[in-house]
Amino acid sequence: MTQISNMLIPALIFYIVAMGLSQKKDIYASFTKGAAQGMKTVAGIVPTLIGLMISVGVLRASGFLDFACGIIGRFLGMFTDSFPNELISLFVVKLFSASAATGLALDIFKEYGTDSFAGLATSLALASTETVFYTMSVYFMTAKVTRTRWTLAGAMLSTISGIIASVVLAGIL
């Protein structure tokens, strides 16, 4: 399986070049045109990325994230007493930043272990949820979408469903 995955990208590149040559296309010009468009997209996204990174850093440094997670933890405490508060922080941060959530996940793995309930729930949640606010801001800004209608509600519903499924599956496993 490893050999197949190692050969997949070179094979795909070879296929694209072969198709371009067979259709007598200027492959290099198409590549540079696509790269230029990609750079314009990156330049347009950078301010949003910086704003999101700063906001997550401010939330964590100010203690507001811990405060909000404490409130959510007390609410969850009415239903269960074995739910780690670190998971709540992870779920909230994941809405904004996948890299920050990965950092929190590593802390959870070190403290609880990868095969623990917290470790399994973390792994499942990171795999089954999306960075809602990051994705919405980047894609809507790039596509110049101004009417988001029910996007946030749908994204939050699917994320909450993914979190609940992660916690349930981690409890079963």
How many structural domains are present in the chain? Answer: 1
Domain of residue 117, residue span: 44-172
- CA distances to 20, 36, 38 from 14, rounded to whole Å, are 10, 22, 21
Q: Is the pTM of this model over 0.85?
A: no
In a domain, 11, yes or no: no
* Six token digits for residue 43: 């330049």
Q: How many CB atoms lie within 10 A of CB 135?
A: 14
Per-residue confidence of the chain (173 residues) as pLDDT tens digits?
A: 788 888 999 999 999 999 999 998 898 999 899 999 989 888 877 887 788 778 877 887 898 888 888 888 888 777 766 677 778 888 888 888 888 888 889 989 999 999 999 999 999 999 999 888 888 887 887 777 878 888 889 999 999 999 889 988 988 86
Q: Are 20 and 30 in contact (CB under 8 A)?
A: yes
The answer to whether residue 168 is domain-embedded is yes
The answer to whether the CB of 113 falls within 8 A of the CB of 119 is: yes
Q: What is the DSSP letter of 116?
A: S
Judge whether 121 lies within some domain: yes
Q: Considering the domain boundaries, does residue 92 fall inside one? A: yes
